[in-house]
Amino acid sequence: MSTFVKATETYQQGQRTLPGRYYTSGEIHAEEQQRIFTRRWICAGRAAEIPEAGDYVLRTIAGESVIVVRGRDGAPRAFYNVCRHRGTRLCEEPQGRFSETIQCPYHAWTYTIDGQLIGAPHMSEVAGFEKRDYPLHGVALETWEGFVFLNLAREPEPFTRAFAPLVGRFSRFNLASLKSARRIDYDVAANWKLIFQNYSECLHCPVIHPGLVKLTPYTSGANDLFDGPFLGGYMVMTKEGGSLTMSGRACGAPVGRLPAEDLNRVYFYSIFPNLLLSLHPDYVMFHTLWPDGPGRTRISCEWLFHPDSFRDGAFTPDDAVRFWDETNRQDWHICERSHAGIASRAYVPGPYSPREGISAAWDREFLRALGHAQ
């Protein structure tokens, strides 16, 4: 385990919230898309969403449609959703299965699910045309702990280097083997950064989440990642052997072989720029965030459990799902109110308190990624 420090010890005196234009400006949003979402590793969900060869999902990153498909060799791959003939979108459905090939609906150029062109009507009549010269344009893809990450950069930072601080950090939680029990999608009328900043502090919890603070005091715990693209730490649960559920009891089998201290903790981490990871003794919850303009964010929330839980007749995943769905909606509502207030001409940046050190650290990473002076 890494050394943890109290939340207040990560505080940098004098830092203030971001100016309003960072939440409301279309120009800033466009800059974010180009400087962050086309250059950083973006979480596209779980590899388990495409379990068999030919299974695919579509993801939209910085306005680009990307096909994530399981290849014949069992490895996931990603391609721009663009035919090499005249640029037509190959797929419209958000998920599905290719039986054998990927065929363009316009002029029937046909590709293997591994991206190789195998059919191009009448192109044999074109001098010098070779099908091998026209594979689908690939997108860099890596997997980590059962998650799929994509990077649109032509020369992306190597994933092993970008994610070096997280290698092995969560292995005890058995993330790659966990199975999804439920997913809920949300549409939030707030800038995506407000979601991250809200997730990164619990100063708001006594006011917004009375049910949460009964199970985990907002002043408890410590952080072990407090600068850079990965931020967070743990909070302590008041009930020994309990969990963050409607009943306060664990609702599934332990997710892994956890040390004794982890049985009384919940860990919260933000993984820049679009993944929130919440680790409980009996389940893991994660959010993926998808900015949709400066004033809207689409969010997917999913709950993962140990496979043994699904074989237990007493398994009650809704105990966790209902708890966090209620908590999520409380968060989304206050983030929407925050966005509405920040859009006012009266808004000016306010000072962060020592209890908001991780939110302030997130702002610093965001400004670094955008290339803006701090």
Q: Domain extents for the chain?
A: 7-37+169-370, 42-160
CATH 1.10.287.3510 is right for the domain spanning 7-37+169-370: no
Look at residue 203 and give its three-state secondary structure: coil
User: Do the domains 7-37+169-370 and 42-160 sit in the same CATH topology, yes or no?
Assistant: no
Nearest residue to 30 via CA among 293, 371, 275, 274 = 293
Q: In the structure encoding, which two tokens stand for residue 29, read together? A: 């949003």
* Residue 184, pLDDT score: 98
pTM of the shown model: 0.96
- Measured distance CA(151)–CA(142) in Å, rounded: 9
Q: What is the 3-state secondary structure (H, E, C) of 63-85?
A: CEEEEEEECCCCCEEEEECCCCC
Is the omega angle on the peptide bond into residue 273 within 30 degrees of 0, that is, cis?
yes
Nearest residue to 362 via CA among 290, 282, 268, 292 = 268
* Residue 304, pLDDT score: 98
Q: In the structure encoding, which two tokens stand for residue 198, read together? A: 């809200």
Q: In the structure encoding, which two tokens stand for residue 49, read together? A: 């969403």
Enumerate residue ranges in the chain where pLDDT < 50.
1
Cα within 13 Å of Cα(277), Cβ side: 23
Q: In the structure encoding, which two tokens stand for residue 229, read together? A: 């693209």
Q: What residues have CB less than 8 Å from 204, skipping those under 6 apart?
A: 198, 334
Nearest residue to 24 via CA among 346, 343, 360, 335 = 343
pLDDT tens, residue by residue, 67-88? 999 999 999 999 999 999 999 9
- Residue showing tokens 């060869």: 53
Phi-psi region of 293 (alpha: psi -120 to 50; beta: other; left: phi over 0): left
* Residue 270, pLDDT score: 98
- Residue showing tokens 């596209």: 44
Q: Under CATH, what is the fold of the domain 42-160?
A: Rieske Iron-sulfur Protein (2.102.10)
Nearest residue to 188 via CA among 335, 86, 316 = 335
Look at residue 266 and give its three-state secondary structure: strand
* Strand ranges across the sheet with 140-144: 42-46, 147-151, 140-144
Pairing of strands 117-119, 284-291: unpaired
| DSSP code of residue 371 | T
Which residues are 69's β-sheet partners? 56, 77
